[in-house]
Every structure is written in C-alpha cells, then in structure tokens.
A and B are shown apart, each in its own frame.
Chain A
Amino acid sequence: MSKYKGFSKKDLLDVYSKMYLSRILDQKQLILLKQGKGFFHIGASGHEAAELAAAKNINNKTDFSYPYYREQAFCIGLGMTSRELLLSFLAKDDDPNSSGRQMPQHFGSKKLNIVSQSSPTGTQYLQAVGASFVCQRKKNKAIVYVSSGEGTTSQGDFHESLNWASREKAPVIFHIQNNKYAISVPIEEQTSGESIYNITAGYDSLSRYDVDGCDFFESYQAFKLASERARKGKGPSVIISDVVRLLPHSSSDDHAKYRSTKELNDDKKRDPLILFKSECMKNKIIKAKEFEDLEQIIKEQVDQDTEWAELQDDPEPNSFSKNLFSDNININFSNESDIHKIDSDKCVMVDAINHALSEELDENKKMILFGQDIAGGKGGVFTATRGLTEKFGSDRVFNSPLAESSIIGTAIGMATLGYKPVVEIQFGDYIWTAMMQIRNELATLRYRSNGDWYCPLVVRVPVGGYIHGSLCHSQSIDGYFAHLPGVYIVYPSNAADAKALLKTACRMDDPVLFLEHKGLYRQNYASANEPDTNTLLEFGKGRYISFGNDITIITWGAIVQKSIEAVKELGVSADIIDLRTLYPLDIDIIKESVSKTNRIVIAHEDNLTNGFGGEISAQISEHLFEFLDAPILRVASKDLPIAYSSTLEENILVQTNWIKDAINKTINF
C-alpha cells in the first residue's frame, strides 16, 4: 500500500490510537475525579497532534525528554501506557512517574528516559540544555526534548536556556505549545507582539518553526527537521505549535469565566483528532468504521485498565521518608581524628580547595567545573579554580554565562545524566536567582521520582563577611538552606577540613551545598597541613577544637576562630565544637558535650533570627533539657544588612567580644 505523506496506514492508525487514548484518558480521569477518586487532573485535549508529532521523532532509548504537565499525549507517544497513567492519577505505589508523590501529569519514567518533572513553569529548559550538553559530549547523536506552554516563555530561564543552548549549538528541541492561554491570561497580555516566534529571534544557531499544532502532518515535518538538525550537531530549534485548549487549564479551573462561547466553539472546530480523521478519510486511507472500531476497543481498554488500577496498592504509609537521600554511601572515609595530626606541607584554604578539585578531576573523568570567571587565567575571583582549565582543558573547566539559574539548572541536567558538575556561584549573595532551581528541582528530584532520578552535583559558594564586602558581598546563607530538605550543607572552618570534605562532596550521590568562607581563604589560622589525596571526611561528624568542662561553644565557619580566641582570652575550660556540616547535624557530639558541661553558647555568623543556631537551640531544649544548668545563648550577627564602613560592620557582624560576653553570662548564670 502506498504511503500517505510518508506514513503507512498502520503508522497512522497507531498515531490516532495514541491521540485517542490520551483524549479518552482525559475524560476518564475527570470522571474519576468527580467520583472522588482523584484530586487533580490537567488535560492534553487539543494538544495531541503536536505532541504525537514530537514523540514520533524522539527515541525513548537514547534521547531524553522534559515534557511539561500538558503532555500526556507525548508520553503515550513515547510508550507510557494507560495503566501507568491511571496509576499516577490514583497516586498508586506502582506509578512509574512518582509512586504517588507528585500530582498527576507530572511525568517521569526511567524506562522511557522521561526525566521527572516538577511543577514550576520554566525550570525544565535549563536542565534540558544541561542534559543536551551530556548528549553532545557522548557524541551518540542523542537529543533532548523540552516543552512548555506559551506563557512559560515569559520566564527568564527560557531565555537563559536559549542563550546557552545557542552558544553551544546544543542538541535540544524547545517545543512551545501555544494554546493562547496561560491559565486565564491570554497571549496578548503575556507576550511581546503576541508572538513567541518573534521573541526568540536573534539567537545565533537557533532554528525556529511556527506550525499548526492541530495538524499532525505539518507538526511532524517540523520535528523531523529539528531533530535531524540537532542530531547532526547543527544546534537547537524552537518549535511553536499553534494548538487549541479544549479543556479548562486544569480540573481546578473553569474557562467559561474568561473565554467566550464562540471562541470555545471555534477551538472545537480545530480539534486535532477530528482533523486527523477527516484527512485520513478524505484521502481514503482509513475508513470511518475503522476509526469507530478502534475507538471502541480503546474505550473498553481504558475502562478495564481503570478497574485494574483502582485495585492496585497505595504507597506504603511508612515509605513517606524514603529517597530523600541515597541510602548507599560507598565512600572509604578517613578516621576524622587523624586528619589534623598529619605531617605535611601547610596550605591555605583556597589552595586546599583548588587541590581537592584538581585531585577529583583526575579521579572522575565525568567531573566538570563551571561558573562565572572560573576558567582560564583568572581561575575564579578567589582563584579557587586557578590553573584547572590549563590542566584539564576547557571542555571540563569552563565559564558559564553570567546567570546563576543557568549554572544550577544546566548542572542539574548534566548530573541527572551521569555527569558530576561541581559548579561555583561566585557569591552567596547572588545565589537567589537560582533559588527556584535549588528549592524545587535540585533538592526534590530524588524524592519526587522515588529514587528513579537524582542529581548529585556540588554547588561551591563563597559566603560570609569581614572583608569589607558590604550588603551584597558579605551575606551568610546557611540559615536559608538549612531549612531545605534534600541538600547536604557543608561549611568548613579550615583548609584540612575543606579539602577532605570537598573531596567527599565530589563523591556523594546527592546534591551538596559547599559553603566557603571567603574571609578564611587565605587566613593563616585557617591554613593546615594538607591531607593527602585519599583523605575523605564523613559528613555529619563535628570536631572538638578544644575540650573543657565549664561550657560548650557550638560553632562553624569563620566563627570557630573567634570562639577559640574568646575562650583563650577568658581562660575558661570549654568544649569548642566545629560542626563542619549543618546537614547532617552531628547531634551526638552536641549531646555528648552538653551532658558534660551543661552550659551552651551557639555562635554563628548568619544573623540571629531564624539562623541555624535557633534550630540547634531548639533541639537541645527538646532533647537535652534536663542537662541544662543555664539558658542556651546564641551569638549571631545583627538582623541588619551588612554595612560597608568598618565602624558599622564591626557592630553588625559577630565579634570575639560578643562571644566572650555570652560565655561570661552563661558561666555566671
């Protein structure tokens, strides 16, 4: 039989059956929802043709996909079954998308190379670009597919991702499904010139396609061209599909409140399923009866699958905490008491960090470094990465665009596909533009996919003050991130710990936020005999800087030294504990010390309110109340921005005298 536009009859029936399955599943899920069997649904009705056209050009074995929430039909096209989708809708344990952890239509499938998707609009683009960098490095002609609605193109991440993808000629296809509404906001209130096509002009190697997304055949041609282009290494494409939204935004929305009946009826006339059927019938490829029979079979199948899915197990109640972090840490850790008793050359902290990175780049060929100014002769504004491009090449140590979300987002994508990005955010003060990527993506990927996907990257962040850095080069960020489940937080106080902890961070299977105090980088007191290349410190093991009986000082980062000075000047007998990591928190060492001294001062550089000291204090009073012989005192910086003038800064950031006062108060209570 002759082919129609390159498709056999069998191909076309297959395409239609998948579009129809998606449509019927939308209807079925809405019924179940109204029966109280589910809580949320977001439909693909009207988008099926464009999505099937895309799916037909993606290889579910080698390519990777980042589909957004309106892409049920794409996922079906890639091989997701009605049973799997119904398991997701009913939040069942066997749901391959998230085991009932995410809302329905938050797709993910290890089997189909669909990377678990979260809810924020726009975070997926940079991750897809990062993933496409990995494909590029593998040189296996694999590509990455990422999609969103037209509203999401207003997010900065979209433009960041177009920029970096173009810069690298990355093998990635951006699919923008323009149904003209972002929930209730029409495109004229959304996008300059009402044209995504126009606003994406100007990126050097970016190919652009504007297609009728209701027309499967037209859409298919665009994806064919775009994917071939990407596989040939010619660069990324953006395909804007003009589609209709036949359902309200989600089951929580009523589009009659903001769309006219006429407009809704006009959309129905462009129903991609009707258009597809009539084109096939008009060209006498498939008869009406054949479509009817197919539809009947699919309907019955969905009914049966629903009955089956309802009988499947809910997630085990006690599984709720699983897969926040990996359970398997296969690292040969060093005996922590030894690492400060070694006989070797002294080095300052920034050099220790540089050496750790260099050693780990040698150790792990999949490890890469990027960030702002980190490459070439500059080697980072603090020289932590000096010489590393020269040594390991610009493929492995390179500069990122000046965009923090780009750094974290692409790193997530690369880490998800097996690389080990160790990235630098130049100043903690500027990490905030990457907050969405950190909070909703980096920290949650393993949990939300129930362990199927994870992104073990290391984010190195210079932080802290005492350097005349003023408001935006002095910030402490530990309090913010200690609130975030899913990320390890390391904060070394000296060169030896920094090296051994950073090397561990580079080998962990989960994200690590590695905080480096820029005031300690070249301090003599923070320098140490350099541990050797095999020295790795376990996270969650605090260190006694000194032993005493009268009081415990719990501290970390730059305040360790100030605590040492305070204790020395007062001549008191004190346990000084350097926590070294805030997550995990070494509650055992605190317990041990507090039950001996019964008096505690917690000293940290972050400002007082909601600083991590508050959490430690709370844990002590919850668990160790009966050991307290005095109130727990916190020494922290003032709840103020950090001012530039020395006289002002000294009154804002923690000073040794403040710690001495607190020790005196506590001991004399």
Chain B
Amino acid sequence: MATDIIMPKMGESITEGTITEWKMNVGDTVKKDETILEISTDKVDSEVPSPATGEIISILFDANETVEVGTVIGVIGEKGEKINKEDNSEKSDLKDKDLIDTNKNITSSIEIPSNKPDIDLKNDYKVSSRFYSPLVRSIAKKEGLHLTELDNILGTGRGGRVNKLDILSYLKSKETSSSHDAITVNEESKKSRVPLSQDLDSKVEVMDPIRKKISEHMIQSQSISAHVYSTIDIDVTNLLKVKKTYSEVYKDKHSIKLTVTSLLIDACIKALSEFPLLNTSIVDTNIVHHKNINMGVAVALEDNNLIVPVIKSSEELNLIGLSRSLEDLSVRARNKQLDLEEVQGSTFTITNPGVFGGLFGIPIINQPNVGILSIGKIQKKPVVKETNFGDSIVIRSMMYVTLGYDHRLIDGAYGTKFLSYLSQVIDSYGDKIEI
C-alpha cells in the first residue's frame, strides 16, 4: 500500500515550503522516520522523516520547487509497487493543478533572474536597431524593461527616437493599464527589479527560502505595525559582577553557561510581568493578552540568516532553567535542529546586536508581537554619580537598550516606563540573586 509524502504544514501562518534537497532517489529503500528530504520554510530548515518503511516509488517535485502545504510531493510503496493510477487520479489532478500554479508563481515572482541569471541588460539594449539616449537606457534599466518592450515604444523625438517623455509616458500607461491583476504582480516584480537595476556588473542570486521569508516578514511587519522606539542607557555593572561571581558555580554545579543574555532575559521577564501590555498581540481591533511569556530570542546563523527560537512559558523558569533553555535552543538553532514548534508562538522578542558591536539597534517587531527589545554593546564609560560626598565621575559598564513597540497599542509613556523598570531590575542585581 502506497503512502504519500506530504509537504508538512509548518505552523499556523505557513502556507508553503520549498524542497531544498532530496536525500533519496526513486527506487531507494527507506525506513520509517529516516530522513528522505530537506525542506525550508519561513522559519526553519527542516528534515522530513519518512512516513513509512518501503521503497520510494515516485518523486513529484524537484529540489528548489516551492509547494503548497499539504501537497503530495512523493510516494512510498512496497518494493516493486507501481502507483495505482486510478487510486491516485484525483490526487494527481490536484498535483497537476498545483504544478501549474507553482510554476506560474515562480515565473511571475522571480522573473528574469531565475531564467537568465547572467543577463546583461546593457548589451541587450545595444543589440537594438534603434538608438537610445543614455537617459532612456538608464530609465529602461531602472524599470527593468525588456528590449522588445523598449523597441515597441513609439518615439516622438527626431526620426522617431524614443526620448525621456516617451519612455516615462509608456511606463505610466503600463502602470495604469495593468492595475487590475497587477497589485500583487507589481509588488512582486518591484522587489526583484529594484536591486537589479543598480549595477550591471552585479551577479544575480536567488534568495534562499529562509532569506525570502525573512524579507517578506520584515516588510510585512513594517506595514502592519506602527513602529516607535524608546532608548535607555542602563548601568550593567552590577549585572556583570553577578555574572562573574556565579558563572563558575553555574558551570560546576549545573554545567551551563551563565550569560549576560540569560540575565537580561530574566530581567526582561520580570519587567514584562509588571507591564503585561507588552506581552500581547493585536488581532483586528482586539487585544489578545497572552497568559505566558513566550520569549523569542533572535539567533544569527552562519549562512547570514536569522532564526528566533522561543523559550516557552519563560516566566515559570528560574535563572538556571532560562540559561539552560537558551543554551540548548541557540546551539540547536545553529545546527538547524529546531523543531517547528520551538520557533513559533513567541509573545515578545529580544535581539542582541550588541554582541556584534552595535551601540544600539532599531529593530523591527517580530509579528504578531507588539514589542521587541534590542540590546546594545556594553561599554565602560565615565558616569556622573551622586554620592553622599557630592557628584563624582565613576567608570561604569553602560549599555543602551532600545524598545521597539507598536504604537497602535502602546504609547510612549508605557514603553518608556517599561524601560525604566527594566533598568531598575538590572541595576538592583546584587549578591542576593537566587541560584
């Protein structure tokens, strides 16, 4: 009996996945739970384990193809079994339809580069039988016009030459005439066009699926949320002292690393408990108050991508538990071993560009959160402190922290109070920490 290999649904918001690599070929025998292919979605690269033991009798989509969730992408059967055409007729109809749709998507969204990655637009315009001025050429390049398209523009210049006005009015008419179905198409094409026109000598590379998804998410987030930012300078001298004092103990007793990040997450959880509006989501005009604090932590990957594993119900963990979760999640994130649910369901996010030297970041909210905390670099600075003996300049370890939040729900007063409270929590770290 044949078993279908199906593109898994990768979480509630996910509609499609891309096959990155088949680990098996048609005819290979496979055991249940053995990896048969790798896929990639907006959040994770994931291995797909075999749903059955048997032989792969059909592979329906090749690597790099993007397939809707739920689509059959291959079939496993008994050794020597053939696909029962009748049994699968309904499904294969669906497959064909999907295939067509998918192809359409690919061509319309990726356009020129996917077909001709090395296309040289400059040379393209040169082969025309018509003369184009430098300006017309540069506009055509910028707008990604094909030579044939350009050649068909009616010129009103000397001897029928296409001049600035001609190409601009052509572009204008194109925009309005294709407006019906063009809303998404134009959106799509704009994305790929704009960078293409910048430099003719550049190489064109298709984004890998994760990057594509990050890119979409970021743009989406910016159009959803009314981003607003507050920044505060926090004295982390005490926090560093605590870290120094206890990191040996943590290592010996619990075999985990006590890091600045885990201490900051701890402080952030405490602050979120005081300011619960930052631990919500907006759905239409409703505010969803989350019961738990699911702390997303941005982790930079070696391939230049980014993933946000989530420490679920983080408010229930003590510092040991937090540190352990953080270490475990970030190691597995870098090894691409995260399970799907481990990257979903965050209610607040922390990102730390400070470890790369950033003084402070202006982060984009991780949807559907309403807040994101960006940690800056820790640096020693002269600070004026009020003491009993008057003002004095002392050297303290200081760190900028920026809260990005959604002004649709949270106003400056609330956001800034959250930061002040966070600062107090961090400043109050002392020897009395619970371990």
Contacts and interface: CB of A to CB of B under 8 A. Distances in A.
A630 B134 CA distance: 8
Contacts, number: 27
B158 A629 contact: no
A628 B163 contact: no
Interface in B139-168: 157-158, 161, 163-164
Secondary structure dominating the interface of B: helix
A625 B157 contact: no
B135 interface: yes
B134 A627 contact: yes
Contacts of A626: 134-135, 137-138
A615 B226 CA distance: 51
A625 B163 CA distance: 15
B158 A668 contact: yes
B88 interface: no
Given A598-B164, A669-B163, A628 B157 contact: no
B135 A669 contact: no
A598 B165 CA distance: 11
Interface in A28-51: none
A108 to B, nearest CB: 49
Contacts of A629: 133-136, 163-164
Interface string A373-384: 000000000000
Nearest to B167: A629
B24 to A, nearest CB: 52
Interface in A617-644: 625-630
B274 to A, nearest CB: 54
Contacts of B133: 628-630
B181 to A, nearest CB: 32
A598 B161 CA distance: 15
Contact of A669 (B134, B137, B157): B157
A517 B309 CA distance: 76
A598 B166 CA distance: 14
Contacts of A625: 134
Contacts of B158: 668-669
Contacts of B161: 669
Interface in B96-145: 133-138
A486 B133 CA distance: 37
Interface in A630-669: 630, 668-669
Contacts of A627: 134-135, 138
A209 B45 CA distance: 101
Interface string A586-628: 0000000000001000000000000000000000000001111
Nearest to B162: A629
Contacts of B164: 598, 629
Nearest to A628: B134
Nearest to A665: B158
Nearest to B165: A629
Interface in B326-352: none
Contacts of B135: 598, 626-629
B172 to A, nearest CB: 16
A156 to B, nearest CB: 51
A378 B29 CA distance: 113
A626 B164 CA distance: 12
Nearest to B156: A668
Contacts of B137: 626
B138 A668 contact: no
B341 to A, nearest CB: 52
Nearest to B132: A629
Interface centre among B135, B161, B164 (most CB of A within 10 A): B135
Nearest to B166: A629
A628 B133 CA distance: 7
A625 B161 CA distance: 18
B157 A668 contact: yes
| Centre residue among B158, B161, B163 by max chain A CB count within 10 A | B163
Given A598-B164, A625-B134, 19 more contacts: A598-B135, A626-B135, A626-B137, A627-B134, A627-B135, A627-B138, A628-B133, A628-B134, A629-B135, A629-B163, A629-B164, A630-B133, A630-B163, A668-B157, A668-B158, A669-B157, A669-B158, A669-B161, A669-B163
26 contacts: A598-B135, A598-B164, A625-B134, A626-B134, A626-B135, A626-B137, A627-B134, A627-B135, A627-B138, A628-B133, A628-B134, A628-B135, A629-B133, A629-B134, A629-B135, A629-B136, A629-B163, A629-B164, A630-B133, A630-B163, A668-B157, A668-B158, A669-B157, A669-B158, A669-B161, A669-B163
Interface of B: 133-138, 157-158, 161, 163-164
5 tightest CB-CB pairs across the interface, nearest first? A626-B138, A629-B135, A629-B164, A629-B133, A628-B134
